Amino acid sequence: MIKLGDKLPAMKLMIATGEGPREADTAELLGQGKVVLFAVPGAFTPTCSAKHVPGFVKLAPEFKAKGVERIVCLAVNDAFVLGAWAKDQKSGDAVIMLADGSAAFTKALGLELDLTARGMGVRSQRFALIAEEGVVTRLFVEEPGGFEVSRAEAVLEAL
């Protein structure tokens, strides 16, 4: 599993935009400036939709005031699903929706979660991290079923 001081992996993923999916290089997206990355087990799932994304959308101005240049939500879903979810969540420019459709980035972080028994396949654990110039400076990984350390309020407090 990725740890403090590690560099985030560089690879090509997809971002959901208003104009449709576009390719993104994680080295550029996550490797420049101070970035908050949070991951959810899946778009449109209950806790993710009711609490996780809304918290980051609501507190985005406070994150910016603390020097965070980008807030990125990672999910093991395709960019079309994340695009629809962004509209549903009214995330606008506050949160960038990053699609890890094949879980390649999630697996490179060592934070995958096998939910095959629940019909969801391989997903991401719920977590958040703070990276500066692509290096992990803070890491918040939830216990299974938990929603405490990776919520927006907790991450903001850690800045």
* Rounded distance between C-alpha atoms, residue 3 and residue 24, angstroms: 23
Of the residues 48, 82, 97, 98, only one is catalytic, namely 48
pLDDT computed for residue 45 by the predictor: 87
CATH number of 12-158: 3.40.30.10
* Rounded distance between C-alpha atoms, residue 139 and residue 16, angstroms: 24
CB neighbour burial string for 98-126, b if at least 16 within 10 angstroms, e if fewer: bbbbebebbebbebbbeeeeeeeeebbbb
79-108 pLDDT tens trace: 999 999 999 999 999 999 999 999 999 999
Known catalytic residue at 48: yes
pLDDT computed for residue 116 by the predictor: 76
Domains of the chain: which residue ranges? 12-158
pLDDT band at 77 (very low <50, low <70, confident <90, very high): very high
Average pLDDT over residues 107-116: 90
pLDDT computed for residue 113 by the predictor: 86
pLDDT band at 35 (very low <50, low <70, confident <90, very high): very high
* Rounded distance between C-alpha atoms, residue 59 and residue 16, angstroms: 21
pLDDT band at 118 (very low <50, low <70, confident <90, very high): confident
